[in-house]
């Protein structure tokens, strides 16, 4: 079964094609700079251990033009992997915000699209782009079933004590203002891998997704019970350009005393804060270079980043009433051994004991980096959101085989 996975951004499209039930993609790609001059398509063919890369530069006015070029690559006489776009039987879409309407992977209908559209105001940077990806895919892959996988779905198991805010009831009941959480596709994927590795489906774990965006989730027996991101993806940990937790009084001070507009505050907290605001860099590799060169501000930012994560580990261990494992994932979590060491330092009271030599080993596989006598496992689990999406789509189709008939 040919299942095509699309992750549509405001000016980009990530994609992978799987021939399920084989979970290794047969091609992957990225379309960048859509709507700008010199758009770039990077298309990778994967056959066994061989990888062939095709790069194209052209002007792509919109997402439809970009996806049309991808369809041409998929069906190209020399490098194509299918003969016709109609051979794609299902298209899986990453949709960032599902609100309270969607707690699981969902077949896309007119009604589902209308609901996704209603949620634009809750994720103005993401849902419109995700919606556009659905509209374009419907035009190009005309026989495919369109399926939505929601980033918020994994966190729909959180209890009210975790997702409600202490503001008047009407803001929740009438306006849907509550914590939703994000990165759910990644947290769900690494949770499943961790439970399988531990051979314990009742394990209490904390998953730590550290990329440009960062979030943590308290997981009890495979179920999300709390997560650091909230109503939007700004809350919680210090991120590449986002502030994370901040006293709301600062916003009022910026507007009322310093003359900032709300748009300026929004831009400040989302795009100019976090590690970028503290150091001038959002990439951890640049910050590590700064630390090596004696940059005290970079060192402070790194300390703050780790400190915030440690605070959340403590609070989530309390919520879980115990801890079996902590899990590092995503770009920084998987590759930055120094930040993992800082986070795990002086955490032995919680049973977290890092093995420094194991921590330095680089690998693309799931690995254990705790000492042999550590009561809590410390794992590095590479995330794979596209694989999680395709597996959820395939599972939905297997449960409802009539949808392809």
Coil vs helix vs strand at 177: coil
Per the annotation, does 37 bind a ligand?
Answer: no
Please say whether the beta carbons of 380 and 328 come within 8 A: yes
Which residue in the list 151, 226, 324, 336 is annotated as catalytic? 151
Per the annotation, does 213 bind a ligand?
Answer: yes
Per the annotation, does 331 bind a ligand?
Answer: yes
Per the annotation, does 62 bind a ligand?
Answer: no
Report the distance separating Cα 368 and Cα 292, nearest Å: 27
Per the annotation, does 333 bind a ligand?
Answer: yes
Q: Alpha-carbon Rg of the chain, whole angstroms? A: 22
List of long-range contacts for 36-43, beta carbons under 8 Å, 24+ apart: 36/11, 39/66, 41/66, 41/69, 41/70, 41/73, 43/70, 43/73, 43/79
List of long-range contacts for 355-364, beta carbons under 8 Å, 24+ apart: 362/335
Per the annotation, does 63 bind a ligand?
Answer: no
Structure-token pair, residue 96: 């960032």
Structure-token pair, residue 271: 């795009």
Per the annotation, does 332 bind a ligand?
Answer: yes
Per the annotation, does 368 bind a ligand?
Answer: no
Burial 312-343 (b: 16+ CB within 10 A, else e): bbeebbeebeebbbbbbbbebbbbbbebbebb
Give strand pairing partners of 214: 210
For residue 373, indicate whether it is catalytic. no
Report the distance separating Cα 2 and Cα 26, nearest Å: 10
Per the annotation, does 367 bind a ligand?
Answer: no
Binding positions for Mg(2+) are: 7, 385
Binding positions for substrate are: 94
Binding positions for ATP are: 14, 209-213, 283-285, 331-335
Residues catalogued as catalytic: 151
């Amino acid at each position: 079964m040919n299942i095509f996975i699309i992750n549509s951004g405001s000016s980009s499209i990530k994609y992978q094609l799987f021939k399920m039930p084989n979970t290794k993609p047969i091609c992957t790609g990225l379309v960048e700079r859509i709507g700008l001059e010199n758009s770039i398509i990077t298309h990778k063919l994967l056959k066994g251990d061989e990888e062939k890369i095709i790069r194209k530069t052209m002007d792509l006015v919109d997402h439809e033009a970009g996806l049309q070029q991808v369809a041409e690559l998929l069906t190209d006489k020399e490098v194509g992997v299918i003969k016709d776009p109609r051979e794609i039987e299902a298209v899986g879409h990453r949709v960032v915000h599902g609100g309270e309407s969607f707690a699981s992977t969902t077949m896309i209908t007119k009604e589902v699209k209308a609901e996704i559209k209603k949620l634009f105001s809750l994720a103005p940077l993401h849902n419109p782009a995700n919606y556009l990806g659905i509209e374009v895919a419907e035009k190009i892959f005309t026989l495919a079933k369109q399926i939505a996988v929601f980033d918020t779905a994994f966190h729909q198991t959180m209890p009210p004590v975790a997702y409600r805010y202490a503001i008047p009831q009407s803001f929740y009941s009438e306006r849907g203002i509550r914590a939703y959480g994000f990165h759910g596709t990644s947290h769900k994927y690494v949770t499943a891998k961790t439970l399988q590795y531990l051979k314990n489906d009742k394990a209490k774990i904390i998953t730590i997704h550290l990329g440009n965006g960062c979030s943590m989730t308290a997981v009890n027996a495979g179920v999300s019970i709390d997560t650091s991101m909230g109503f939007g993806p700004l809350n919680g940990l210090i991120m590449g350009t986002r502030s994370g937790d901040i006293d709301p009084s600062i916003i009022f001070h910026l507007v009322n005393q310093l003359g900032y507009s709300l748009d300026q505050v929004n831009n400040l907290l989302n795009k100019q804060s976090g590690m970028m605001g503290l150091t001038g860099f959002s990439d951890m590799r640049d910050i590590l270079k700064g630390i090596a060169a004696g940059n005290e501000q970079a060192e402070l930012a790194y300390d703050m980043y780790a400190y915030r994560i440690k605070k959340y580990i403590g609070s989530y261990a309390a919520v879980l009433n115990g801890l079996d494992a902590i899990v590092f994932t995503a770009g920084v979590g998987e590759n930055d051994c120094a930040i993992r060491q800082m986070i795990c330092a002086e955490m032995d009271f919680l049973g977290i004991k890092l093995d420094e030599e194991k921590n330095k080993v680089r690998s693309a596989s799931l690995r254990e980096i705790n000492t042999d006598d550590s009561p809590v496992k410390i794992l590095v689990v590479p995330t794979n959101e596209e694989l999680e999406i395709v597996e959820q789509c395939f599972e939905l189709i297997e449960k409802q085989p009539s949808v392809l008939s």
